[in-house]
Structure 1
């Protein structure tokens, strides 16, 4: 079982993870039943502030009870403290943009899973409104530095909107629901891989990380995208003599990453301009629409191209 206690004035609004609701909740304790004690089990807990907190800090206590393999009853207790502030700037500067992005993503994915297929657009609309409010907050001169502490959240929400969890990728509804269920119970690093999957270029004896943008699709490159449930290998049309060796390195790397992962991810390989290439293209930010100055910030090697090559 899993008990949650907190300072009066706070209440749990959502618990997302492998747990079921219990009827023994009280005003002081939120009680739920865990489905297991695996190391990678993750719970996302959301709180509401129900009244004015006249205190310098609030406390949260988590109590886990389970029976181990020796039939012994085990208790684990964790107590955490969080400081209280009335300053929006201090609050925002204390947030981790990656953690905030994952928590927001889980709320929107949960809402999308509860909604009918035709109502998913309303969830995406709420996501768009949130990103709009963040940009308005960034413009607020009374909250200096907020754009630095939360600068990655809008980009992460954009990637969430385009990815398989909420995006318009053509796939069966069962596949979409499987990904959503897996994401809601996945640990933090796995969730990041779902939202912001690492993209890399396979070079001779090296793997180079790249921004998750469509300008990475250079015809002389072999790329690998790790989306946790799928690992995608993209081959350009002009790779040249090193084609077999680079593809071998990419496949070895994909197999290595998939080795201890459950469920085992699909490894898909395709060529530039093939119909299957859409699996990679739909996950990339369309930076080809950006100004040349912004493109050069992410891909400085573009400055070495002639104007004709650049336009192509």
Structure 2
């Protein structure tokens, strides 16, 4: 597609192999945009303390940027601010819904097209960009709390009229995530509680705390999920989380309700949620619904580790329906 050069930034092309546990591709490409290269050695050194971790530990990449003299901000944003940053020459990282077995992913916003009302995003392929209608972009972005990350040189002079650097609580969420990866659950809880004390409107912190409490089988989980949903009725992760809570409590009708709410927000987001709802429907003696959900799970996750078992379950349940 032809880009609106006035409102589009050209970022360097990086290979997908440049995506490290401690240096996500999104951060790496932005640092390359600012002329900072050869970060892989530091990323590899940092990654040694993490074993068998899939995905990225975002706060590590942010700290790599900060050690190189960059200013990183994590904040709740909006479309107007994203566009303003682009016009200032600053790309933004946004947290968006994932696909298949990935719950979330980071996307770099590199521009916008005011004539077509589209958001332009970075794609690590030659002569390729992403182009998303603004309405669709906002719907997807809202599902994860409309978070944005900017990384700029410390000496870059720009006019700041927003409060993006005054709320530390979203960065605290990323720090808590790292604590969870290394099993320091009590410290993660303390970090998130402190974040909520500072900003009671941080739906991400509330959802994360709900997830931790659910993992340790605390009934406090439900209250935090509900508080998150009250702030953002489109917050997919909180619907999934409270569905998991009710599944654990064996309240299957409520679990089905909340899983269905998450799926209605984004039916293509996270394949394993269909397996969970399939299990719930099986408990509710809804074999037809269970078969449908387990089939959807495999359609979205064709390489699932439990594929053979799920196929056997589908076959057995299908024979009971006939």
Larger helix share, 1 or 2: 2
Q: State the TM-score, normalized to the length of structure 1.
A: 0.35
Q: State the TM-score, normalized to the length of structure 2.
A: 0.34
Greater RCO, 1 or 2 (C-alpha within 8 Å, sep 6+): 2
Larger strand share, 1 or 2: 1
